[in-house]
Structure 1
């Protein structure tokens, strides 16, 4: 029992320290000591961790360890318990299959931390093969069975509500907004194939997550998989929202908000490019737009703060990486819908350099979008 507590406490303390970016050096030193044996850490499986230790965790401890509340974990188990792939088969001798809730918790721990395969499998008293097999199954079930339920485009009635709620954010008005769009780089190991294409302008390998969120930080659309070197505008043009955006935004009645990396469309409103000649009204428009668009940066900050696997995915399979990112986005929405505290794990998202270094060519803007932006500018100035 004492070994179980030690094997839980040391990684948990690392988690606590890692929540403060200023203590990253301390985390790295502690991990190095563990790896080098300066702090004794004998490799042995934690027998009874799931059966005895997890049920006895205080609610706050459970939440910080798995990055979701016990209630949300139970809701997730209920949803996934209906999946045929995760149902416990009838025992017919040999090693007994893992319970569904254990499969779910090992997957949550994987997404919640930067622990490696060996550490997670030892903690839960299973082999690395068993961990990898069930982690992949749970992620597969989340994406196949829950994605369409929890990440979906709003109905007409919902868009009316979202537009009103967007307008109420902050001190500035901005009519007709049903979502904010941006791209976020997810750091990865260099993939086995074409690693150079994943090396981005920030000088690390990444996969791009394009997300659209509503006012409460829930994603309503995601597009995952483009290499980090690709510009945001190209990612957009190769996603379904580029084809469907006009219709999804009720034929231009509503719109998304994007930064200067995106082309101006009647369904996608972007700021005026600042060449030093902006009018007072145009500057005010840009200020209003920025105040509403920050929700997507907050959504990415919350996603990565809660599911810290997305801070660096140590995997060379692009398909597996994309699956993990997608599952984290689904779980992100489930957490918000289940009333999880948004502020607890919210972190600052780095500004997207595409909007600063590579604004879109003005020639790509369309006339209807330009007219709509002028009309909104005049409306906001009155």
Structure 2
């Protein structure tokens, strides 16, 4: 009888804890809905309308799911908070009960969903047609007086924990371990291309010469289209 009482109490405690988590999640989402628009953008780097649109796409185009304990929207907010700050500290403000291990699992699930081709290829795409390139050129010419430019290019160092394998490839000249990520954007700062294959020890010019974008631009110019990417002195 004593054992049955113990099991009954344990079951009731588990049910109570689950209810507490659900209540906290409801309160969390209410706080998010009431959050001022400027504060929302500051914490998550997206406005509320874009966040809702992102959730809609992830729900309908990927296998990402929420649970009773961690709703779908909380998973996405948790990930956006981490990507915006690079830290787990602010995630506590998203959902009070998320342990770091749980938050890490949520972040991995959402990032895997974001990397799905249905999402990635819709938002990150280099201008493939002459018409698309002509539009971007017109925008650079209109806004900045720069002829023939179809994108701006640069690399940025994304810090990471010291890797156990080939550590020297990731130790950059600034004295920490990183990925040296090459990005191309248009005149509206929309990302057109990302190359995140190289460690922080790799020079910008080597990443450029190894990228498919370099070959693509060269082919366009050989066909007398005369288009350019705008970069600093790290690019030939």
- Normalising by structure 2, we get a TM-score of 0.78
Counterpart pick for 1:56 among 19, 34, 48: 34
Unpaired runs of at least 5, structure 2: 1-20
Unpaired runs of at least 5, structure 1: 1-44, 90-95, 264-382
Counterpart pick for 1:230 among 202, 213, 234: 202
Matches within 5 A, 1:126-137: 126-137=98-109
Q: Which has the higher contact order (CA 8 A, sep 6+)?
A: 1
Distance across 2 between alignment mates of 1:122 and 1:256: 41
1:67 aligns to 2:45 (yes or no): yes
Matches within 5 A, 1:1-382: 47-48=24-25, 49-88=27-66, 96-116=68-88, 120=91, 123-124=94-95, 125-144=97-116, 145-154=118-127, 155-170=129-144, 173-247=145-219, 251-253=223-225, 254-263=227-236
Distance across 1 between alignment mates of 2:86 and 2:62: 29
- Normalising by structure 1, we get a TM-score of 0.50
Q: Give the drift of 1:250.
A: 7.7
The 1:72/1:158 distance shift into structure 2, 3 A limit, reads same
Distance across 1 between alignment mates of 2:123 and 2:222: 21
Distance across 2 between alignment mates of 1:248 and 1:143: 28
SS in 2 for 1:207: strand
Q: Give the drift of 1:180.
A: 1.8
SS in 2 for 1:115: coil
What is the total number of aligned residue pairs between the two structures?
Answer: 210
SS in 1 for 2:235: coil
CA RMSD of aligned residues (A): 2.5
